[in-house]
Amino acid sequence: MSKMNNEFFDALELIAREKGISIDYLIEKITNAITIAVKKDFGGVEAVNVVLDPLTRQYKVSIIKDVVREVEDPVNQITLEEAQRYSKRAMIGEPVEIKLETKQFGRIAAQTAKHVIRQGIREAEREQMMNQMGGKVGEVVTATVNKIDPANGNAFVQMDKNEVLLFKNEQLPTDDLQPGDKIKVYVVDVTSSEKRCSLKISRTHKDLVKRLFEMEVPEIFDGTVQVKSISREAGSRTKIAVYSKDENVDPIGACIGPKGMRVSNIIEELGGEKIDVIQYSEDPAQFIAAALSPADVTEVILSDDGEKIAFVSVPDSQLSLAIGNKGQNAKLAARLTGYKIDISPDSAFTPVAPAKPQKEEEETVDSETDELMEEQQETTEEIQQGVEQELE
């Protein structure tokens, strides 16, 4: 019995170390599990006493029955004569403790206990994960890639003592993850259900970029420079608007760093993703003009009917640059500023914004800019449709 007790507690301590679970928590779960198993195996006995002491390594299970003159409920009652076989001090009207040998549990009870113990360990792991990761929601953590599922590209990554799934659609298009790679991920959310604890992590979330800047730029970390807004197409391009509360601190220079080292470190972590650091302004027109960088902007006119629409004029030679490949630059600028942006070349720009722009007017352009304006119109429609859903 002593050897078996030692083996039991050795196994318990090993589980606690490997899973990072409190042994007291395991003792509580296993005590409850054995109680349930014994009650079931002994026909629904009401009182069960389980003692598991990791210090003395004592293991005791007993059932409690009431001592009575006449037994009406043999599961929970016992005669005085029979009770005195277990305790010489047994008296009618008092409970008597009947110690059980492990073999008395029976096969079914043992299997039930094993199942519930396993379930208890899973619950402990879930609670452990919730305690470890719950406070990291909204933070960036370093994870190690364990393996890649070749069927779907999902990655299993190690975070502390937890293995977490990084879905393919939460990876960067430029990611080529291999076992052993160390990557930074953003903890989006932690949820718990009866069956499992679910941790959502991402490398495509825009707040990953924000947290990386906080880690790289001391002026952002201490609050001197503020990140006002971010728009991102993960793996391709990000625009980040920054503002300095100290007029002596250049927010763009602080983010870029000496010889561009700060922003370069972030770009490297993001697999070469381009990053435009934009000067935030309370003046929407100035902010919109800056957001369309690297294109030059001639003029910005805001809609006067209360809608957040901006009519932007750019040099004819800059139209493609302002719109960007597949409209990317214009869309990111729109999300960054919160404005729908209508871009026109200087040669076709109407200096006074109409109260409610008509499609036909937007589509009417000089013949020499037809090709560029066709691309611009498609982009404008994409912006107006997409930004309505994605404005910050």
- 189 and 229, same domain (yes or no): no
**Domain-embedded: residue 341:** yes
Quick check: is 362 in a domain? Answer: yes
Mean pLDDT score across all residues of the chain: 85
Domain that holds residue 214: 205-280
Same domain for 116 and 7? yes
Tell me, yes or no, whether 164 and 70 share the same domain: no
- Mode of pairing for the β-strands spanning 77-79 and 47-53: unpaired
Number of residues that this document lists for the chain: 392
Are residue 270 and residue 318 in the same domain, yes or no?
no
For the chain, percent of residues with pLDDT exceeding 90: 57
What CATH code is carried by the domain that includes residue 214?
A: 3.30.300.20
At residue 161, the pLDDT reads 77
User: Do 7 and 65 reside in the same domain of the chain?
Assistant: yes
DSSP per-residue codes, 1-21: -HHHHHHHHHHHHHHHHHHT-
Domain count across the chain: 4
- Which of 280, 313, 334 terminates a domain? The answer is 280
Given pLDDT bands bounded at 50, 70 and 90, which one contains residue 390? very low
250 and 149 inside one domain: no
- Per-residue pLDDT, averaged over 107-127, amounts to 68
Digit-coded pLDDT (tens) for 282-327: 999 999 999 999 999 999 999 988 889 999 999 999 999 999 999 9
Q: How far apart are CA 391 and CA 377, in angstroms?
A: 20
Which residues lie below 8 Å from residue 253, measured CB to CB, with a gap of 6+?
none
User: Is 135 part of a structural domain of the chain?
Assistant: no
Mean pLDDT of 361-372: 41
Tell whether 13 and 125 lie within a shared domain: yes
Same domain, 30 and 125: yes
Residue 289, in any domain of the structure:
no
